[in-house]
Structure 1
Amino acid sequence: MKFLNKFLLLFTFDQEEKLEVETKTTLLFTNVLNFFLFVIVFIEGIISLLEENLFFAGPLLFFSILFAFNYLYTGRKPNSLFYKEVLFTFISLTFTFFIIFGGPTNVNIIWLGTFPFISINLFGRKNGSIYSFAMFLFMIIDFIVLSQIIPGAINYSFNLEILFSIYFIFSFIIAYTLKFIFTEVMLTKERAMINSQNSKNSKEEQISDLSRQIRTPLSNITGILDILGKTNLTDDQRDYINTIHASANNLVNVVTNMVSTSKSGLKPAIEEEISFNLYATLNNTIRLFSENNTKQKFSLSFSADIPTTMTGNAIKTKQIFLNILNGIAKYNIAEQKHIGIEVSRTNTMPGNVELNFKIISTGNIPFPKEYKSEDSLYKNDVLRLNTSKHIQFLELGLTQKLIEQDGHTLLIHPDIEETTFEFGITFKENKQSISIQNLKDKISNTESFYKPSVDIKNANILLVEDNFSNQQIIILYIKNEVNKIEVAYNGKEALDKFGKAKYDLILMDVQMPIMDGFKATQKIREIEKSTNTHTPIIAVTANAFPEDKERCISSGMDDYISKPFQPEDLIGKIKHHLS
């Protein structure tokens, strides 16, 4: 068995990029199939040549050359287009030849029984069954018509025709059954894995919310204590304040230790980015809902500029779609449902593939009356406020967090006849190297960001924070150092102000209504690309874990400070980025 395992591993080849498990499995099966068909057809051709039977030797050796070329050239490239289709074409031609003319060993038609296994494993149960039926139909036509009119065609006896027909049907039933069992097992495992991931992420979300809810008021308490400590106080008053300050700091440490301990067993593994076929991934997810459900139809369309394969987190992508489709299946009360999935590319930045997804579900989802709004509201950013209610109703809070992890937003557009779910996901192109021109562009952009230092007293700072108390605390922290501070209550308002005035630095909260800090930062960075400018953005947030900092930096922010913090730490970061 060990020898057989090592032998099969030879057909995986050494791939430079990581591949999705399903892609690896299909590639291995296709390569093994290609190799063995080459061996079988080549041996048949050599036997014909030794017997000086050129009628069989020529075609069979030609077919073996096709299999060899396909195996040695195309089979080593996991992202090759139409590899399966080309191989299947060669197989169909070879088996057609065997059906009509037989072969030098007179057992060639026996291989016809493998055709259902090949077609179903290459193309799935539905398409594989269609191709198998087409081959069976061709075999019947050959028995009845072609064998009588094609010169050199083999004439089968009636008993052999019946035997071969039963043999083919029996092979098809076995192949279909085995594929059905394998698919159900894999889908069950995949559903269990995604449900487990949902459960872990849900617990992590609750813990993060707990930490944020405690840290925000603690930040205000310690901030006021710091400010009071710098005023004229009696010795007793200063002693009281120091006691309160110490107790508050101890409480911060208790919260941090408690949450860190709770998350130690829940923190998900670092997302592994692999090369995968997005179309196949979405198709596999749709199969969970479409098979054995005649009342639910799906359509899937991709714009032409989307690459065949991309690098990203295939599991998270499946998880997002599975959760949304589960919500639709659970709450859409229409008897006949049609769900259309549209995928388009929203940017052409080198190295990244930013895609916009629309899931359009026909039929009515009965949102509660308090969740409904006038149509005019959907023409502006107030849609985000309504979306939060719809997300809560459909139990898509975790899905929203998954989408927001790389700075995108989940929007829901409800209507009487259909509901549209819209969101984005960013992937990476499958490129291992960077061109010289890209390197030049990076150097040019880096140089363009250089600017002279700004004295903190003369700096114009924008504070983006939706909580009034938090605004006042931060302003109290820095007002003695900074003369000009402007305030925005959400990301949308910050964008409006950014377009009308020049700021030397932005203090950005993360969680805000209408538009959060991640999306606002992305929008600001997009604006700056056209002007070759760069405004430092510091995240000021109660999200205090390493992954929170990573998310802030990946969205385009320059620095991060978590609540509660010392005023000197914030002022130090401001001075650092102004210089």
Structure 2
Amino acid sequence: MSKKYSLTGISDIALGKDLRAENEVIGSKASMSILNSVSFFLAGVSILFLVAFQINESVSLTWFFLSEAIAFLLIPLLARQGFEKASKILLIAYADIGIIILSSVFGNDAMIQAFFIPAMGLSILLFDNTQIHLRNIGILLSILSYFVLDYIIFERVNMTASGFSLVRWAVLTGSFVTTWLIFNTFSQFKENAEQQTLELLKKEKELNEELSVKQEKLENYISQLEETTTELEKSTKAKSEFLATMSHEIRTPMNAILGMTHLLKQDNPRKDQLEPINILDFSGKTLLSLIDDVLDFSKIEAGKIEFEKVEFDLNNLINVILESFRSTAKNKDIDLKVEVAEQVPGRLIGDPARLTQILNNLFSNALKFTEEGEVKLEVRVLQHEHEQASIQFAISDTGIGIDEKRINTIFDSFTQASQNTKRLFGGTGLGLTISKQLTELQGGTISVESEEGVGSTFTVELEFGVAQQPEVSTNGSQGKIEGSSLLKGVKILLAEDNVVNQKVMTRFLERWEVEMKVVNNGKEALDAIQECNFDVVLMDLQMPEMDGYEATEKIRKLDDPYKRKVPIIALTAAALKEVREHVYAAGMNDFVTKPFNPADLEQKLAQIVGV
């Protein structure tokens, strides 16, 4: 019985579409196509004979062929209701009966009985090799019909008028009974289909109600998810603010620690003082590196890290990095070497801060895990086309090396060469992870080659823009920190509210023989600018009464053009890109991050005053 039948499906049946379940497809079978085609063809032939005999006023034959036509039209419908085999037998039977009747009418001379041969062939076409018995039954029906026609009707039966009338009414009765059975079956299926339709509608209503309940639950889940997302965003923002605040608050005293440590090392300390000072310096720089790593790791995870495209001097950048590690290398009696190929452009366009961070991490690792020998940086050009250059930085050491089994995981977060390494040398294991992510986020690559007990080589490849070389170099202060007279006589205004940092900065500026004035906030800095001319202003950002941003904006609005255009360098303990953008937006010329590198600060001052 069809599971998809309905009154509206009659058109589908007429078009030969299947109304059964997908696992019971009939319409696609070749035998069904044959059944449909032959049935409709024979129905057409029956209608033709119906018309012919109606014209000749042969009532009995007219009714017979009318019943034949109806039967042939209803057989496909019966097949589509699930009675496929019975429909095929009926088709063969009605075809045989039609041949018998026509042969009887036209006599033996017409040889209409020859059509029993295609009737037998039809049996073969309708039933496949899995239905041999039904095929044989169909063939047998045709053979029996032939013998009935040939030996009974033509040869032995001499029908009287009353006998012919009896046969006629028997045939008509059979046709009507068959038609009644088919229509009765059709009606039954119609009622069943309507019942199923009602059940389906009821089921659909239940499903709609269930769907409505589930949709309401889904909306609640979505609402909860939105609330959770909002809370997560707040949590992430709070985390970022916390890290930024902690970074700033820790960097401020670290500026004093590292600054004073640097000054102590330059004051010719006694031998018994040198080791504690070196330990203090190393520990301070390690702590600062950890702070930077945690902050950057959080920003990378949040997908908020951005890269600058600014012009910078590669040689100066390398020299500043070397200067920051020279003391550590000297204390461990390790040679620190640099080899820059002649083809390497002097001025590049990229993110110098991120390049410095990557190289710092690699230098720090190399020095940490090397007890004797050397650490060497080699810089070469891989490709130079138009205004782009692919630069390779290779940092090699003669340290402990990395086990071959762990070399593939060395860039994973919180991973070190071994547990023994972690116990001996400490560290979070974030340095290489951050270096790899910073490199890859800029479209570069980082790799390592290492042999345990021999040493390691970390190679970074990055693409930079190539800037035009300046005609006159202004890097005369490069590498000269203490005892330099390049800044002698330069008038500097220092705006800093932290007394300790005031003293640290004062000590450095005194060594550079500058003339300086110290104020405690932005308001005092504004007053001092109006009273006196300065060559440079070193402006802290977070100060009471008036911060560095507001003070700078007011200075840029002064009437005196000299005072209005005085160079201002920001002193900030914040390492975020947003702060740097705010610095430039306020009208400042440059910035120095606390804890500052003395060489970097001196270089900026020398460049900005043009000495």
Q: Note whether the superposition's TM-score is higher than 0.5.
A: no
Q: What band does the TM-score fall into relative to the shorter chain?
A: 0.3 to 0.5
**Which structure has the larger Rg?**
2
